[in-house]
Structure 1
Amino acid sequence: MQSWKSLIWSALAVAIGVPVALAATSEQLAWRGPVYILAGFAGIVALALVLVQPLLIGGYLPGLSAYRNRRAHHWIGGALALAVVIHVAGLWFTSPPDMIDALTFASPTPFSPFGVIAMWAIVAVALLAALRRRLGLRLKTWRIVHIPLAIVIVACSVIHCLLIEGTMETISKAALCALVLLATIKVMVDLWRKRALRGERA
């Protein structure tokens, strides 16, 4: 059992570590400034955190209790929002006109609108999570709002990443994106099955 736990955590480390390591060896970094590099890697980290989130909420990572999964999901959600802020702020610092075009959906680059949509969805989830108690959102209502936004975040983040020809190596990037999609689909199916089973029991 312990070997399986180690294998799962090792697989997650490889899935995240390999794309990051290969991006760090990209020849394109030689022509980039430090702020741009920081912004780019913040985006890579954000995508990695998007992979971890469904694994936590689905309870697929061994050795964590349900409570720890929820707490980790909460804190990693905050880290995801911070990574996106660093990503956007860094790109704004290096090229304000390009960011204005992206935020106003006037950019000619095909990946820009998907990144902006994912960004606003992440901001919406972060704000709602922070204000959930004040707004009096019940768990059922929170899920109705959170799940569609999570789907938007995953879909747009993956498309945004795949369309960018940047420092990330092609195959490892595609593999990471595929894992993000598979993990999200898996947790959505499992949650649907649990609710259907509860409905039958009721």
Structure 2
Amino acid sequence: MGPARKILIWGALALAIAVPVALAAASPLLAWRGPVYIAAGFAGIAAMVLLLLQPLLVGGYLPGLAGLNGRRVHRAIGAVLVAAVVLHVAGLWITSPPDMVDALFFRAPTPFSAWGVIGMWTILTAALLAVFRDRLKLRSRTWRRMHSGLAVVTVLCSVIHALLIVGTMETLTKAMLCILVSLATAKALADLKVWTNRPRRRG
């Protein structure tokens, strides 16, 4: 891969991340929000950005981060993703405990709440599965399929959750970020042939 193409790939990724984050930071709605609520909201935005990076890393699409390096960064980003989700939920809990209780018990009147809660549990389950993978003695193929299945549900729920929320994120760039997350996940799973007997290794 030539240097021009590497610069193009990294530049496109930086643009895809920076534009929706910058527009969210400039949202006039932030003027009526407290610091904890704002931090919780941006933790959720960070989680969406990390969901874009994960399939790009494991698929080996980012220059300099293919193969083993990409998978190592993928694991590290996974830990950061869990932390972002925990901060998102904790911040919303601090600002409004009754609303969070309703959301966790699927009693909230807002449709996006249920999708967010399901996505939260699948992210946490995927993380626990990664931590206890060796202790559970999972076969490599079983591990890949379970982890990938949880990733698909996480992406689906997170995208729907984000699209249903009318908040600080600008509508068009939020939709574009959600589309990119979905396409990157589908591309990585297709290339790695997760649900076939002979997955193709990249890098």
TM-score scaled by length of structure 1: 0.95
For structure 2, list consecutive stretches of 5 or more residues without a partner in the other structure. none
Task: Find the counterpart in structure 2 of residue 14 from structure 1.
Answer: 15
Return the offset for 1:138: 2.3
Q: Give the letter aligned to residue 22 of structure 1.
A: L
Task: Tell me the SS of whatever aligns to 2:167.
Answer: coil
Aligned to 1:2: 3
Aligned residue type for 1:46: A
CA drift of 1:94 comes to 0.1
TM-aligned CA distance change 1:119 to 1:198, over 3 Å: closer
Residue of structure 2 in register with 1:170 after alignment? 171
Give the drift of 1:65.
Answer: 3.5
Look up the match of 1:157.
Answer: 158
* Alignment correspondent of 1:118: 119
Structure 2 CA distance, aligned partners of 1:198 and 1:33? 48
Aligned residues: 199
Runs of 5+ consecutive residues of structure 1 not aligned to the other structure:
none
The letter of the residue matching 1:58 is G
Q: Render the CA deviation track for 1:145-175: whole Å, top value 9, x for unaligned.
A: 1111000000000000000000000110000
Letter in 2 for 1:125: A
Matched to 1:96, the amino acid is P
1:197 Cα shift? 6.6
Which residue of the partner structure matches residue 92 of structure 1?
A: 93
Question: Aligned AA for 1:36?
Answer: Y
Name the residue aligned to 1:185.
186
Aligned equivalents of 1:195, 1:134: Cα separation in 2: 25
Structure 1: how far apart are the matches of 2:123 and 2:56?
18
1:70 corresponds to which residue?
A: 71
- Once residues 63 and 195 of structure 1 are traced to their aligned partners in structure 2, the CA distance between those partners, rounded to angstroms, is 27
Question: How high is the sequence identity, in percent, across the aligned residues?
Answer: 62
Whether contact under 8 Å (2:193, 2:199) holds in the other structure is no
Deviation at 1:69, TM superposition (A): 0.5
Counterpart residue number, 1:82: 83
For residues 72 and 28 of structure 1, do their structure 2 counterparts lie closer, same or farther at Cα, with a shift above 3 Å needed? same
Residue 28 of structure 2 corresponds to 27
